[in-house]
Amino acid sequence: MRFRKNSIGGKTSMFNIHKNKITASSCPDVYGNCVRTIEEDEEEKWYVEYLDILKDLTNFSLFLELHFLLLALSTIVLFIWFIVPYFYLAEHMTRIGYTDEQASVVLSVIGLANTVGMVGLGWAGDRLNVAKTYAVCLILCGITVGTMMFFANNYIALIISSALFGLFFASCFSLTPSLLAQLVSLDDFTMAYGLVLLCDGIGNLTGPPLAGMLFDLTGSWEQSFYQAAFWIIISGVLVGIIPYTKNRTLCGSGTKRNDKRPNKKKRVVVAH
């Protein structure tokens, strides 16, 4: 695997970290490097390393990359609306005449299907195009949310729709890390995954009150479910754009992705 020159994974990483500030050679002066490092450590202020860490933690330059931005927007939209079936399906069922036991069975089916989907879709993601598979799963997930309202009066069909919802929604847990590994470099993976989790949190905080507001305006949960179906499909479309576009920096100087293509073998000609 290729690493950037200042990557901690590089073979000269000990000479490339910030506090050493030296260039390694094929035969480095170890004694001189050690002395120089000790001297600089003594001169360096105690808060410099903390400021460097804080700077790394607040590095949002990945949002300037087209593909990562599409994934981040998709994640926010998904996590705003996926919460609707989890939070409000049981209440909607009891309002139209189902018992609490029947509603709890449907939620249990969602959880069971979600567990199975994490394993199954993780296996499928290793054998298929991750971005396309993820996009299809999100689109189907949105469709199943909409069918919950069409089959609300048919208990068996409602259970099937709920199971399919849990199955397809599992793709966001199984396929997101694999997709991130393709979109960003190894150095940026930890930061990228943290930003995706930040997007998850934004969506989780926004979704429930937004769906509740729609209920207050309409007096029914149907509009919340239909909106959830539409926006989850949009979330899948945003991911589906990724395989058909070329990644680029939208403005400024974003973090460029490492080229992960294998090195071509070069023929060496020796002159006699």
Residue ranges in the chain whose pLDDT is less than 50: 1, 3, 5-9, 11-24, 36-41, 255-272
Packed helices 222-241 and 66-81: angle between N→C axes, nearest 10 degrees: 160
Which residue from 219, 103, 207 is spatially nearest to 162, judged by alpha carbons? 103
pLDDT for position 38: 46
Identify whether the C-beta of residue 174 lies closer than 8 Å to the C-beta of residue 122: yes
- Phi, psi at residue 65, to the nearest 5°? -85, 130
Please tell me the distance from the alpha carbon of residue 147 to that of residue 139, in angstroms, as a whole number: 13
Identify whether the C-beta of residue 173 lies closer than 8 Å to the C-beta of residue 118: yes
Q: Count of residues for the chain?
A: 272
Where do the structural domains in the chain lie, given as residue ranges?
A: 13-55, 61-244
Identify whether the C-beta of residue 17 lies closer than 8 Å to the C-beta of residue 8: yes
pLDDT for position 42: 53
Identify whether the C-beta of residue 65 lies closer than 8 Å to the C-beta of residue 247: yes
Q: Is 65 left (phi over 0), alpha (psi -120 to 50) or beta?
A: beta
pLDDT for position 268: 42
pLDDT for position 230: 95
pLDDT for position 3: 45
User: Which of the 8 DSSP states describes residue 246?
Assistant: -
Place of tokens 């296996």: 123
The per-residue pLDDT for range 78-137, each reduced to its tens digit, is 999 998 998 899 999 999 889 999 999 999 999 999 999 999 888 887 788 999 999 999
State if pTM tops 0.85.
no
Other C-beta atoms closer than 10 Å to the C-beta of 272 total: 2
pLDDT for position 160: 94
Q: Which amino acid is at 184?
A: V
Other C-beta atoms closer than 10 Å to the C-beta of 12 total: 16
Which residue from 169, 192, 65 is spatially nearest to 110, judged by alpha carbons? 169
CATH code: domain 61-244 is 1.20.1250.20
Which residue from 134, 129, 197 is spatially nearest to 169, judged by alpha carbons? 134
